[in-house]
Each structure stands twice: as structure tokens, then as C-alpha cells.
Structure 1
Amino acid sequence: MEYGHCEGMAVLSILFQRGILNPADFGAARTRDLVLEGNQKLQREIAYWYATMIPNPGRAARIIAPPRDLVAVLRTAFANTQTAFYTLRFSKLDRSGGHSVVPMGLRDISANEVAIQVYDSNSPTIARELIVNTATNTWSYSPALDPNQTSDDYNGTAQSLTLGLAPIEPRQGQQTCALCAESDPLLNTTASSDNPIILPPTTTNDGMGNVNQGNADISNPEFITPWMDLAPSNPLVDSWSSPVLKYFVLQPNADGHFVLSAPSENQTNIPVSIRSIGRGYTFEVETTVASGFPSEVIVGSQGNVITFTTQTTTSPTMYLGFETPTDDFDFYIEDFDLSADDSFRLEVDASNKLVGLRAITAIPDESVTFSLSMERIDDQGIEIFNSPDEGISLFENEILLIDFSQWSGNGGTLRMGYDDNLNGLIDANEAFVIEDVGDTIP
């Protein structure tokens, strides 16, 4: 949702305008009088319509074309109905700054210029226009209220394909769930070849980082942004800037190997992250990189293990979230004291209710210290565990297992132990408990 509120608001505003949904059902007779803060029903509705732009059939129905062709589509739509049943999405030439608005009408400025009149949720009381030059087949949009703030301007060409329409009608029915295969390794069943792992690597924060997709075995790769497909010329090596999200679909038995690097020379502290999303779980790694010192992330073929390797001493944050029939769990592992070329592996075994941690150090017999926070979410609320301030230490190739099923809640101890015999379970003589020292999460 971090980059999708505008799409959710755009769709919902059209549904209100057409009378398909009623703002009174969300707390006010008029849309402009709705209150978002504390209005969970409205927040969920916005989130829902954002989410429908990702799966099919909604995604497959998108129209990505040169601006002159999109104007023609809108002319036909406005001729048939008062409001076009689309959202209008666009990005900057570098694929950053994705935004979504509502096309409300067309205004012919001259023989070669057309204004697409839009509703922009960022300035809902002000009429805005996206200008298309039909002669040069280019477009531009200035969202800033101050005309001197040109850094916020958008523009594109027929070749950039950074402008598109997303029909709403296909998104009103049931969407295809790419993660809803009948079998899943994290739900105690057998993985199958038609159960893909969805991997959306993304940069974060300042939009200057790159993630280069390395030597993963990709079957039918899809490159998806929150507003349109933008297929690069080389699908195996790609980079992008925030807030663009790029998705790769990996089939089982194919390890996903990703290289996180800075986009150009002389750059340091560039924030990057990569997320692996599966049916009922998600992994994430956040870190910073510098020029010439990339980090690597490998996602296992079954999607239940992720390994991070650094070329610097930068401390990453590793996150694991997953659901069970009764509770949901979040794990945050951070504050690492990694050396160059150290690796750290995070794994979940839902059937035995264990989370595994393993350090692979570049120098033999070294150790890695880190902190652990855990959340358990159920119908009664959220309970939080924090490891001691001195952290937890792992020596090279030690496998530490967390038995989260034995945790009693806030203030209770967390059972852990080592798996020296590599059977996937805590050795009876290697079990211990650590105390809960706080109730905060990162």
C-alpha cells in the first residue's frame, strides 16, 4: 500500500460518482465529507481497490499506449458515458513517482493539444489537466500547486510508454489469485510445479538504489509497476528507482539470486530492499549499499528460506511474516555485527512451528550478534517479544531454532535451541530460554 493509495482513491471515487458504491455506507452522505482517520471500513475499501490492480483479469485489461492513442480511447469513452470507467496512471521517464488519477473529460486547446481533465486525490478541490501534444505524441503533467516547482513535473513520449489506462470493470469481479495453489510448503502440504513464488524486489526511501536481478531461473517473467507493465530490454538484468515495484515469478526448484547494488559510482548509503511474497508468508531484507560493494539475496526454491550476504559491514534488517490457522507471526532480526562477506540465513518451518537462523562467516570460528523482536497477532490483539540488550550470538554454521509455539505471550520466555545433528529440530540437550526485555518492535 505504500505506493498505492492514489490508485485506491481514484477507483473508489469513480465508484462513488457512478453510484455503484454509496459514501453513506462509509460514514458520510458526500464523498468530500468522509473521514479517513479511524475509519477502518473506508481504509480497507481503498486498500482493496489498490490491490485489484495487481492480479488478473484487471492487470491484463490495462491499456498502455502512446498518448495520442489513449486520447482516442478516452474520446470514445466520454462519447458513450459521462465518466470514463478508467483510472489514468503515469510515471516519470525514469519510472519513478508513479501516480494515478481519474480522467473526467477532454478539452481541446488547439489543433495539436488536448487537455485530459483529471481528478487528483493529492489536490481534490482543484481542477487539474494532463496535456497531450498529438503532433509530437508527447504528454506532460504538473501536479505542483506552485508553477515554479518543476521538479515534480511528469512528462513522456510515445516511446516511453509511461502513460496508461486501467479499466475498472474487469476489477469488479473475482480476481485470479497467483498465490492460491492448492498446495504450499508452509501450509504443511507438498509443493507443486504450478505454485509460483512471487518476488517483488524494490528500492526504498530516496529512490536512488538499484536491484539487479541476477541469475534466477525465470519462467514467463513479469515486470509490474503499481501503474503499468514496463518490460525492460534485458529481463535478466534490470534496475529501477523507488517507488517502482518489479515482480518476478519464480517456479519451484529455481533459486532466486538477486544482487542489490548502487546505480552509479561514488554513491554510499543507498537504501535498497527485496521482498519475497508467498501464500501466507513474506520475507523482506532491507539494507544500504555503496558503489562497488553490492549485497546479495538468495530466495530458496520453496520460498521458505532467504539468505543475505554483504560485502561490507552494513547491518541489514531481515523480516519474516507468516500466518497460521490461529495466529499470525512477525519476526524482525537486525542490529547485526556482520563482517565483509558474511552471510545470514532465515528460514521458517511452519509444520514444526520453528524459525531457523544461521550465520555463515567469512572468517572461520567467528560469531555474528543480532537482536530479535517477535510479534504474535490474534483476535485478542498483539503480543511482543524482545531479545536481551546484549543480543543473540551465533558462531559459524551454528543453526539456532526458535520454538515460537511455546511462547506464552508478553513477558514470557522464548524457547530456543541448536540443531547440531541437522534433523531440523532442537536437540534435546541444546535447548534453552531467553527472557523478554520489552514490548516494542522496530
Structure 2
Amino acid sequence: MNKKLILFLTLVILFAFALLGCGGEDMVDEEGFEEPPAEEVVEAPADLPAETEEETAPETATGSTNPDGMYVHPSGLFSLANLGDLVDEGADSALFAGEGQQIFAFYLENQGDVDENALEDLGNFLLTEVLTSVGLVDDFVLYPDDMGAFGNGYLLPFDFSSAGYAEGQGELYVQSDGRTVYVLALLAESYDAVSTDWIAVVESLMVGDSVAATTGDDTPSSTGDESPAGGDTTAPADLGAADSGFRPTVNGFSFENYGNDAVSANLTPAEVQRMFGDQVCASLNGGTCTLTPPAKQWMEQINSYMDGGHCEGMAALSLLMYSGEVSPQTFGGEVAYDLGLDNEDLQREIAYWWTTQSVFPAASFRINESPNAVVDQLISTYSDPASTDTWTIGIYQWDMSGGHAITPFAVEDQGGGIVHILVYDNNFPGETRNVIVDRNQNTWQYQASTNPNEPSELYEGDANSQTLEIIPTSNRLGLQDCEFCSSSAGGGGLAMQALGYNQIWLEGGADLLLTDGEGNRTGFVNGEFINEIPGAKTEEYKFLGIDVWDVDKEPVYLIPLGLPFSILVDASRVTEGVTSTVSMIGPGYTLVVEDLYLDPGTTDVIGVSPDGRQLTYSTEYNDAPDMIFGIERPEADYEFIVAALDIESGAEFLINLDVENGLLSINTDNTTEYGIYEIVMYRIDDEGEVVFQNNDIYLEPGDTTYLKYLEWAGPGTSLFIDIDYGSDGSVDETIELVDEYLEE
């Protein structure tokens, strides 16, 4: 039997097998795996070759024998009593052969529990898609009436024929630990002749942590079994020279990676101030930081993107706690594993370190030239007793989507040019998992899931893909550069190391397409990403790739400062009405179109000036989205919300912020009916934040109104607007606006 074939087939059937184990008969039928009638022989595909002697010839085994004489698979995931000779061994399987019998053992990770009500479907599937496909079985008859529970699993008897047995009798034993499913398949000339030994093998099967216990290995096994509360206090196993000493059962977190629904807090103004300093505070009145409008909008965007998961924060913070840079005692535990997610301070801390992937200098350096370069650096770091460096790993799919962050802590040489990078994956608490690197081919692979509730996915790459990277933890420490602060235009943030950028963010299910004045486009066209705008680029955050966790997150678009462009919001690919929010954040300003509704197949165009001071918008609906302008100024910062409460369908209006003269204007040249508008203004200065609101601003078609916001005396006083009827450049009337804002 070919080991690569076994591994390949196992990977191919992961998803379908999950359906069988969790969905029952109906789901199996929907997926097209037809259930053969009882007692009916299912013919094997005609083009599958029979097993040959060459294919089953003994190979050099890499498994081991524990002190009790039991075979231990190289993965460390299962062990069992020997019944015959080991004749083949794969990454997730082993084949034993003795007189008149064979036993094929294998496992499938992240498949959940076995469904007792779907045993017949499961048996048919395993026999057809695994045993038949790899040539161990040609035909079979499954006996559902004789299936039943045994020990920690289930026995599924069947008759079969194959190249080795004209008429054979077999049995499947299936067991799950809640995450990984283990299968033993007996193939015998006579079941009665080997039944006693077979049952002894079944009873001897050990999985997960129990395997490590029989070998005396303190290294955590890669199963779903959780370690006891408080963490594993046993001494770390000696993994060789390239070992940092970090262990997932002590230094990792005991809870899984999570989205925003699981927590009450992410970044707050305090964390933003800690990251960038007081420059992000429009006011420090009473010792409390009130963020500038751009900083506030940036914080809200970052927090919304964490809904895809907090892996980056968990990977980095676990290392910082292990190295002593952050004390677990601050959050109520001796080690990271002691801590629970029901701790708001810890939630905010994880969010803080998640955010460091998006700022400079934290994300200024990474090693991603090749898998071998990553291994070389980790070996160099972990083999040097004087080194204090630690690293996080970033993995991506081939198209750079589905980014995920994990924590490496040791490198093991497997021989033959194969090395394992041992990692703590925060989707699987308490486990040790392996990134497999082929030093000969300069390739890597890792079975992972960007969502702990979804089936595993194979991540892989080579010397050219740059899909495997390591980032030093040390650069995350200390103040970070603020690319959205008014003093940072052209500065040194991650997005602005050589050139300033406007950041364009999207929340919601639509797509974005940005177009510059020359017709160059960046974004999505018919579902395909293009980038034609000179100097434009995107940022993909780990756990923020497209389609991650089914959260509608596009990349963050970076458009060079000073470049005019328009934004097309496209609902062509959605099947039901969708609400989206588009934000532009630049150095010292922000512009937001909030709660923009589109029906399937429709689009809206937003015209923006590159300095964030002008917005043009037209809508086919009578209720337009909120338009938000934010600006930093030396004397005070301002944020304006303009809402069209009642306007005609198809209306277009232009909003402009004249910072030098202190005027906010609304122009209705391209309307044919009057509209009603609401304005809310926030002013933040050294005294704190105050609010003005008026929702009774009536504008006739073709008029321009100017809100003189610098003249506002404060809460409870009125503001005045100048109206230019016909927009001919002269003020025709000044109207008083009463402050209607009520403190709650």
C-alpha cells in the first residue's frame, strides 16, 4: 500500500466524513453518497488496481514500541497491541499483517463525535471511500443489524472479498474523543479464528493523552483532550536543542480562539492611548482620554475586524506572558493556562496585542522568504540559551486569504530532511501541533482551521508562496507610530513607511471598487480582485482574510494620499438586501458613509476628496445613510453627522467641510424636491466633549447651506446657518438652529 495514497485519501474525505458523522442519513443523501441496501454487494470502481505484493512489502517503520510492548504511531495520537507485523505506515495510518488477517488503523482529525444513528452510513462510507479506494477491499456486505456499542466506540461487522481473500470476514471499530475519530479495520479469512486477538487489540487501543502517559512523554499530545485547570505542572519534555521551553498546557490559553460575540470588550480608548501615546487624545480632561475622531473611527474599525477571531492577540500574548513581559498575575493566574475568557481586562489585553499586527514598527519586520528560512531562524533562536527572542507564526492560503496566527516553541528533526515546527494553535487549546517542513523541497504544510468550529483545512506553501512567516515579538513592545494622527502625514506607520495613504474600510456584505481619475481600478470586479491604481495596496490581517469565519471582511485598501478617487459599493453578488458601512481614515481626518442599504444587483457611488473634506453621494432610496466627517484641529476636534431624514429617490447631494473658515456646507443642486436633514456635531477640546443637534433643517432644490460651527458658544446655545438660494455664491438668509440635544 502506498503511504502517500493513504494520506491523500484521508485528507480528501475529511469534509464528507464530517457530514456522515454529524448529519445523519438526510445529509448524506443530500451530498450524493447513496446508501446501499442492506445485504447488497457494492462493487468497487473498475479502474482501481488490486493490491500487489510490491505495495504491501514491508517498509522501514517510524513508529515506536512503548515499555508495555505496544505499537505507538509516530503522530503520538494512538497506540495499540501488535497483531502481526507492521507492513506500512502513513502520516495518519498504519497497516499490520499476520497469518490470515490484516488490521488497518487510521484517524481523522476535527470530525466531532460519531453519530450512533448514522452507523450504517458511516460504515458504507468508510468501506467504499477508504478501504475500497486504497485496494484493501474489492466488494463488501455490511450488516447493520449486528452493529453496536463496544467499549468507548462501536463495532460494525461486514463480509468482503479482495485480492488477498476470496471470501473474508471483517469488522470496523470506530471511536471518537469528541474531536478526532479513530478507526480500526479488521480483514480476516475467518473472524472466529482471530476474534479473541482482535477484541484484545480493540481493547488495547489508546488515544490522545493516554498515549503520552504510556510512553512517559510529557510533551502534550495533539488531541482535543483538555488539560486540567491550572495547567500541566509536569516538567517540559526535552525536545532537543531547539526548544524554547514553552508548553501549550501551561503557557497557552485554556480557551479557544473566539469572535466578538463571546466577549464584552476589545480595544478601548485606554488601549489606543497606550499604543500611540497622548497624540490620539483630543481631550485628557479628568485624566480620561477622549479620542480624536480619526482615532475613534480607527478603533471601531479594528474592533469590528476582530469578529473574525483573536488568534494574533492570543499567539502574541501567550509568548509575552511566558517571557515575563506581561504578568499573568495581573489577570488573576500564575500562568496563562489559569486564565479564563470571562475576564474583561484579559479581553482588552488580547485585543491590544491583536492590533499590533496592523501598526509600525510591530509589523515592520518578518521572515517569509522561504520555509527553510523560517526553520533556520527558529533553530537559531531556540538553540541559543542567551537569546530572549520569541516569534509568532503567520500562515495563509495560497491567495493570502484565511490568515491565522500560531505560536512556535520548538523544532524537531524527523530525519530525511523533514522537520516539525511544534506550535500552540489557539484554535486547539492544550494541544501540541506540527507545522511540517520538507527541507529538501523547501515546502511546508499544516492542517488547521481558521475557525475552531469548522473542519480542518490544509495550509501549504513553497519557497515562492510566502505563505509562511514569522514575526518577532520584540517589535510589538513600546509606542507605535500613528498613521492616522494629524502629525503623521507621510510618516512611518506600517501603511505609511515611505508614502502616506488613505485607509478604506468596508463592513458588510457588498464589494468595493475604487477608481482614480485615470480610470484605474482597485477592488473587486465580478468577484475577482484587481489592483490597477499606481501605489495602491491592501492589508490582510490574520483571521481577517476573505471568507474567514463567514464574516464579510474585505481587505483594508490603502490609496496614496492626494490621489482623487471614487468608491463603488457593489451588491451584485449578494442574494438579499445588504447594509454596509464605508470608512476612509487619513492623517487627521475621517469620512464615513454609515448604514448604506443596497438591494441585490444594485450599486452606489461615493465621491470623496483625498483630504476627507468633501463627499458626493446619490441614492435611489428616500432614506440616505449617515455621512460622518471627523477632523483634528489645534483648538478643538470636530465630528459631524449629517443624516438625510426625508429626501426624494435619486437625490444627489454634496457635503463639504471648510476647515479654514469653520463652515460645513450641504449643496442640493441635483435634487428636484425639498429634503429634511439632521446635523449632530461633537466638539472635543481640553474641557471634554460637548454635543449639538438639530433635526429640522429644510433644504430646497439647488440651494446651499453653510453651518458656522466655529461660532457655537456651547451646550444649550443656538447655531446659525447661512443659506444661499440657487447656489449663486451669495448668502440670502441666516437661520437660527436651536440645540435639540438632550443629555441622557
TM-score by length of 1: 0.72
> RMSD between aligned alpha carbons?
4.5
Structure index of larger Rg: 2
SS at match of 1:271: strand
Task: Provide the residue aligned with 2:513 in structure 1.
Answer: 212
SS at match of 1:430: strand
Task: Provide the residue aligned with 1:189 in structure 2.
Answer: none
Task: Provide the residue aligned with 2:539 in structure 1.
Answer: 224
Count of paired positions: 406
Unaligned runs of 5+ in 1: 185-193, 231-239
Task: Provide the residue aligned with 2:501 in structure 1.
Answer: 198
Kept after mapping to 1: 8 A contact 2:411/2:419: no
Equivalents in 2 of 1:195, 1:369: separation in Å? Answer: 44
Residue identity opposite 2:665 in structure 1: G
Question: Which of 710, 715, 730 lines up with 1:405 in the alignment?
Answer: 710
Equivalents in 2 of 1:95, 1:36: separation in Å? Answer: 32
Richer in helix (by share): 2
Instruction: Give CA deviations for 1:303-339 in whole Å, capped at 9, x if unaligned.
Output: 3222233355563222222233354333223354455
Residue identity opposite 1:141 in structure 2: A
Task: Provide the residue aligned with 2:675 in structure 1.
Answer: 368
Kept after mapping to 2: 8 A contact 1:210/1:272: no
Unaligned runs of 5+ in 2: 1-301, 490-496, 519-532
Kept after mapping to 2: 8 A contact 1:309/1:343: yes
Task: Provide the residue aligned with 2:424 in structure 1.
Answer: 118
CA drift at 1:126? 3.3
Instruction: Give CA deviations for 1:157-190 in whole Å, capped at 9, x if unaligned.
Output: 5577555332233444665555568697xxxxxx
Task: Provide the residue aligned with 1:14 in structure 2.
Answer: 319
**1:5-404 maps to which residues of 2 (within 5 A)?**
6-22=311-327, 39=345, 43=348, 49-64=353-368, 70-71=374-375, 73-80=377-384, 85-90=390-395, 98-106=403-411, 114=420, 116-118=422-424, 120=426, 126-127=430-431, 129=433, 131-132=435-436, 134=438, 137-142=444-449, 149-150=454-455, 155=459, 157-158=461-462, 162-172=467-477, 178=483, 198-205=501-508, 208-215=509-516, 218-227=533-542, 242-252=552-562, 254-262=563-571, 264=573, 267-286=575-594, 287-311=596-620, 315-334=624-643, 336-339=645-648, 341-361=650-670, 364-378=671-685, 381-388=688-695, 391-404=696-709
1:433 aligns with 2:740: no
Instruction: Give CA deviations for 1:104-141 in whole Å, capped at 9, x if unaligned.
Output: 34567897684642252x77x53363654747744331
Kept after mapping to 1: 8 A contact 2:691/2:741: no
CA drift at 1:282? 0.9
CA drift at 1:300? 0.8
Greater RCO, 1 or 2 (C-alpha within 8 Å, sep 6+): 1
Equivalents in 2 of 1:340, 1:64: separation in Å? Answer: 51
Kept after mapping to 1: 8 A contact 2:486/2:632: no
Instruction: Give CA deviations for 1:209-246 in whole Å, capped at 9, x if unaligned.
Output: 2111223564422221224999xxxxxxxxx9733432
Kept after mapping to 1: 8 A contact 2:665/2:707: yes
TM-score by length of 2: 0.46
Instruction: Give CA deviations for 1:347-368 in whole Å, capped at 9, x if unaligned.
Output: 323333332223353xx53233
1:23 to 1:139, Cα distance in 2 relative to 1, 3 A: closer
1:422 to 1:432, Cα distance in 2 relative to 1, 3 A: same
Kept after mapping to 2: 8 A contact 1:203/1:241: no
Equivalents in 2 of 1:308, 1:415: separation in Å? Answer: 25
CA drift at 1:200? 2.7
1:177 to 1:435, Cα distance in 2 relative to 1, 3 A: closer
SS at match of 1:16: helix
CA drift at 1:344? 3.1
Between 297-306 and 378-387, the greater mean CA deviation after superposition: 378-387
Task: Provide the residue aligned with 2:247 in structure 1.
Answer: none
SS at match of 1:61: coil
